[in-house]
Amino acid sequence: MEGNYKMKYLWCQVFLDSLEENISNIRKMDDKKIIAVVKGNAYGLGIEGITEFLQDKIDYFAVAEISEAKRVVGDKEILLLTPLIDIEDIINPMENVIYTIDNEEILEQIPKDFSNKVHIYLDTGMNRMGIKIGRLKYVVEYIENNFPSMILDGVYTHLHNTKSRKGTLNQINMFKNEVTPFLDIIPNIHCLNSSGFLNEEYKNEASFTNNIRVGNLLYGYEGSDKGFKKIFSYKAKVINKFKVKKGCKIGYGEKYKAKEDTLIGILGIGNIEHLGFNKDVKHNIFYDILKACYHHLRKQYCIFCNNKPIEIIGKPNMNMTMVNMKGVEDEIIFKIDITPILADSSIIKEYTYDTK
């Protein structure tokens, strides 16, 4: 696969100095322990490269699956955010993995000599997984009485809708009331994610916690107004050129007609890399209608040359996109606006300190 992307002249630059600066900004804002979330192949930026660089800069990692934990570079502790589904995963547990306990039934299946660290996940309203409010005391006592070697290392919850002030504050207060009796007993208490951490009110309400889980902040998806930088940029070079006479139709469906003699550049990027998609979320029908009208009236660009937008000819194909080469120098490197979370994770990563 890597060879294919070399042939496509497509790669992703990951700016390690920006990543380091984002970590520094977090440290300046708070002295809580940093749990670097590297699930989803480090949000598409390469779990091996990101964890190797962050190894001595954060307190521990968090992943979604055991398979991801096995790809983390180094021996830093790793919080497994998903609950125990397959008990086989803990028959021979990874020594540096912290497992999540999210229901009472699973405790009946765990071997009594299980000796890894665990964090208990509390459900404060997301209703997806978690120990119910009011049951933490029972679960803690059950672990203490039945698992002499298990290390109860933490308790956490997830703020799933930080745009709702009332709902989020209610979550934090529910969590606080539940964990308060254990603040001096259980070492790690956490509920703040990236968006929660950026909100001063939420951060103040969660002052009783001592860890933060950050993913979006690390990679620069959030916090630009507070100095956090996007740490990636996709680049591409032309793999082929094609001359088209004025009046000729181009591409699938013949929907584009050349207004003049045109030099077409072919880039090795297309639908499979999610060109034209982004991480924006939908709001409501009225918003989406306005957004669609706006996009219809204003041409959208996602390919740039020297910070100037480049015209896409027709629509991106499965694995190729055509651009207008008018005024573009030979061997130029294009900047491509795609999101790592959506893009093909196997695109070559180039880890660099050069942000220019």
- The pTM of the whole model exceeds 0.85: yes
Q: Which helix (H) or strand (E) holds 198?
A: helix 194-198
User: Among the listed ranges 21-30, 79-88, 162-171, which one has the minimum average pLDDT value?
Assistant: 79-88
Residue 309, strand partner residues: 304
Give pLDDT, residue 316. Answer: 87
Mean pLDDT, range 39-45, rounded to an integer: 95
- The tokens for 347 are 């695109």
Question: Which residues are CB-neighbours of 253 under 8 A, at least 6 positions away?
Answer: 314
CA distances from residue 255 to 85, 163, 249 in whole angstroms, order as listed: 50, 41, 7
Of 196, 206, 126, 213, the C-alpha closest to 172 is 206
- The string of pLDDT tens digits covering residues 81-140 is 988 766 777 777 889 999 999 999 989 989 999 999 999 999 999 888 999 999 999 999
Q: Which helix (H) or strand (E) holds 296?
A: helix 285-297
What's the rounded Cα separation, in Å, for the pair 200 and 203? 5
- The tokens for 141 are 């006592």
What's the rounded Cα separation, in Å, for the pair 110 and 146? 10
Of 272, 252, 266, the C-alpha closest to 346 is 272
- Burial of 60 from C-beta contacts in 10 A (0-12 / 13-18 / 19+): middle
pLDDT above 90 covers what percent of the chain? Answer: 74
The torsion angles phi and psi of 19, rounded to 5 degrees, stand at -60, -45
Cα four-point dihedral sign 56, 60, 65, 69? positive
Question: Which residues are CB-neighbours of 281 under 8 A, at least 6 positions away?
Answer: none
pLDDT above 70 covers what percent of the chain? Answer: 90
- The string of pLDDT tens digits covering residues 6-21 is 557 999 999 999 999 9
What's the rounded Cα separation, in Å, for the pair 9 and 45? 18
The torsion angles phi and psi of 309, rounded to 5 degrees, stand at -65, 145
Contact call for residues 205 and 172 (beta carbons, < 8 A): yes
Of 81, 82, 62, the C-alpha closest to 72 is 62
